[in-house]
Structure 1
Amino acid sequence: MNAPTRSAEQANNSEWMDHAIRAGLVAYGVVHLLVGWLALQLAFGEKEDSASNSGALHYLAQQPMGGVLVWLIAVGMFLLVLWRLLEFAFGYREESDDTKRWRKRLTALFKAVIYGVIGWSAVKTATGSGGSGGGTDSTTSKLMDLPGGQLIVGAVGLAIIGYGGSLVYRGWTEKFREHLDAQGQAGKDGSVYVKLGKVGYIAKGVAIAIVGGLFCYAAITHDPKKSGGLDQALQTVLEQPFGQVLLTAIALGIASYGAFCFARAKHLSR
């Protein structure tokens, strides 16, 4: 193992990285709490910003000291990106199964992209160049114009549905427990943390799966306007029978995921 590789591995396994991950998880939790709050406002007809990551950042920027807080969110997200990239490059060496090792590494890379998108959105919001919306019509339209565009959009939709389904599965089976140390799973506090994780993962997974469903519908109808981000997905929920009740449940679930991020930061296990 050469010196740069050894240094990168040491950085990934260092106590400093643990602190960086904790800071990033707190930032990630704040974003989810704000998305949950905006979704709750949507459910009761008091919408101010889109119920999405970018909408949450825009809402935060309008609060006292909001600009500073958004910059802190950006820093936290980029710390998580660094962690996941190190995991992709050097992580999971203890896995004897090559297929399982690379599956975990690719998952880490996928999460790095998610965190990076939120971080970049935070930078744009902090510098005044980001909007409050979460629309995806333009991106979907560009994909539609490519050769086999409908298939590409459909594949993206199925991938998003798959990711949402994996979150629901992790919530239902409580596989997320592996992210908490033993103390974080013990006693009354541990019971609360696990319940927050279960509700949070399932609610977030359902919301993301609906986003994927909108992409698939756009592919089938060849209409980019049928696709949409989280905000449009939640509005779709609101339009259904008992939509207000369902959207309220999802909003509280997304907020629960945010609270679980705080618990994970306190009782980090990786």
Structure 2
Amino acid sequence: MTATDKAGRQARAAARKATAHPAMNRLARVGLACRGVLYALIGVVAVRIALGEGGGREADKAGAISTVARLPFGEVVLWVMVAGFVALTLWQLSEALFGGLGVADRLETVGRTGVYALICGTLLSVLRAGKATSDDEKSRDATEALLGLPGGPFIVGAIGLGLVALGVRWGHQGVTKRFRDELNLGQMSPRARSAMDKLGLAGYVARGVIAGLAGVFVVEAAITYDPDKAGGLDATLRALAATPVGPWLLVVVALGLLLFAGYCFGESRWRRVR
């Protein structure tokens, strides 16, 4: 073994040890609970939008974080969320690099790492400046930048198809209850397992619908060379209300997000955090 290989193994071992530390484990669980708070707030706003009571609020993570900031002791809560999501980011990064995952699982873990890192950025932006850029605006700006690159439409189209594939994957994970693989089932009572099965099924299917529809919009943006076609979570949810089924489809999906929030709270207790 060369000195370089030995140093690399030592670095990987040190990284794994750091992310497996009990303090990091507890912070990651705090982060999972904070994720549940964000999904609960998004779900509530989405239901209000479906009922015509949105009041201009955005049903996305930036809007949810801004709502938390307005609460009593909101700044303290946001700093707790920063610590939790930093731990989640480091944990998922460690899993992506050293977890021995398959290709699909590794790609999804890399994606979660990026999402958690962006949430950390949004939290810090609200703490520093009192506001954050909406997910819709971020999505459109990113799409516009990518469309300006050589082969930009193909890149954007590939991202859109990736989102559609992710939506199908999440839906499949919900229907087949594959999310059980990430839970310490032995620590759960039969009633808790049954509740988590129902919450996970509804939550993963709802997230799959949203991701798939968002992917369709991104593909449309690539085909039309129009970044305004791409939207974030808020635009995707509002599009559900414009379908022939009307706002009731948005209500169903929003309730799915609320149930996924419940799954996140359970996950914060029973998730395997290695």
Determine if the TM-score, normalized by the shorter chain, exceeds 0.5. yes
Measured after TM superposition, the shift of residue 208 of structure 1 is: 1.4
Aligned residue runs from structure 1 range 236-247, under 5 A: 236-247=239-250
Whether 1:90 and 2:91 are equivalent positions in the alignment is no
Q: Distance in 2 between matches of 1:112 and 1:230?
A: 18
SS at match of 1:250: helix
Of 144-153 and 11-20, more deviation after overlay is shown by 11-20
Match of 1:258 among 257, 261, 268: 261
Q: Given that residues 183 and 190 in structure 1 are in contact (C-alpha distance below 8 angstroms), is that contact kept between their aligned partners in structure 2?
A: no
Q: Distance in 1 between matches of 2:225 and 2:204?
A: 31
Match in the other structure for 1:218: 221
Q: Distance in 2 between matches of 1:84 and 1:58?
A: 25
Compared with structure 1, are the counterparts of its residues 191 and 184 closer, same or farther at alpha carbon in structure 2 (3 Å cutoff)? farther
Instruction: Count how many residue pairs are aligned between Structure 1 and Structure 2.
Output: 263
Measured after TM superposition, the shift of residue 91 of structure 1 is: 1.9
Match in the other structure for 1:78: 86
Match in the other structure for 1:138: 141
Provide the TM-score with structure 1 as the length reference.
0.90
Match in the other structure for 1:16: 23
Measured after TM superposition, the shift of residue 103 of structure 1 is: 4.6
Structure 1, residues 128-161: CA drift from partner, whole Å, max 9, x if none? 2533632222221222121222111111111111
Q: Distance in 2 between matches of 1:174 and 1:185?
A: 16
Match of 2:231 among 218, 228, 249: 228
Match of 1:43 among 44, 50, 59: 50
Q: Distance in 2 between matches of 1:115 and 1:227?
A: 21
Whether 1:29 and 2:36 are equivalent positions in the alignment is yes
SS at match of 1:127: helix
Structure 1, residues 178-234: CA drift from partner, whole Å, max 9, x if none? 122124654222211110011001001111111111111111222111111111111
Compared with structure 1, are the counterparts of its residues 184 and 226 closer, same or farther at alpha carbon in structure 2 (3 Å cutoff)? farther
Whether 1:122 and 2:130 are equivalent positions in the alignment is no
SS at match of 2:191: helix
Of 157-166 and 103-112, more deviation after overlay is shown by 103-112
Compared with structure 1, are the counterparts of its residues 170 and 185 closer, same or farther at alpha carbon in structure 2 (3 Å cutoff)? farther
Letter of the aligned partner of 1:65 in structure 2?
F
Provide the TM-score with structure 2 as the length reference.
0.89
Whether 1:56 and 2:57 are equivalent positions in the alignment is no
Compared with structure 1, are the counterparts of its residues 62 and 70 closer, same or farther at alpha carbon in structure 2 (3 Å cutoff)? same
RMSD between superposed Cα atoms in Å:
1.9
SS at match of 2:129: coil
Compared with structure 1, are the counterparts of its residues 40 and 9 closer, same or farther at alpha carbon in structure 2 (3 Å cutoff)? same
Q: Given that residues 50 and 132 in structure 1 are in contact (C-alpha distance below 8 angstroms), is that contact kept between their aligned partners in structure 2?
A: no
SS at match of 1:45: coil
Whether 1:156 and 2:159 are equivalent positions in the alignment is yes
Match in the other structure for 2:211: 208
Q: Percent identity?
A: 32
Whether 1:69 and 2:77 are equivalent positions in the alignment is yes
Q: Distance in 2 between matches of 1:39 and 1:211?
A: 16
Compared with structure 1, are the counterparts of its residues 79 and 210 closer, same or farther at alpha carbon in structure 2 (3 Å cutoff)? same
Q: Distance in 2 between matches of 1:62 and 1:5?
A: 41
Q: Distance in 1 between matches of 2:175 and 2:38?
A: 23
Listed as ranges, the gaps of 5+ residues in structure 2 are 1-5
Whether 1:249 and 2:252 are equivalent positions in the alignment is yes
Measured after TM superposition, the shift of residue 6 of structure 1 is: 2.6
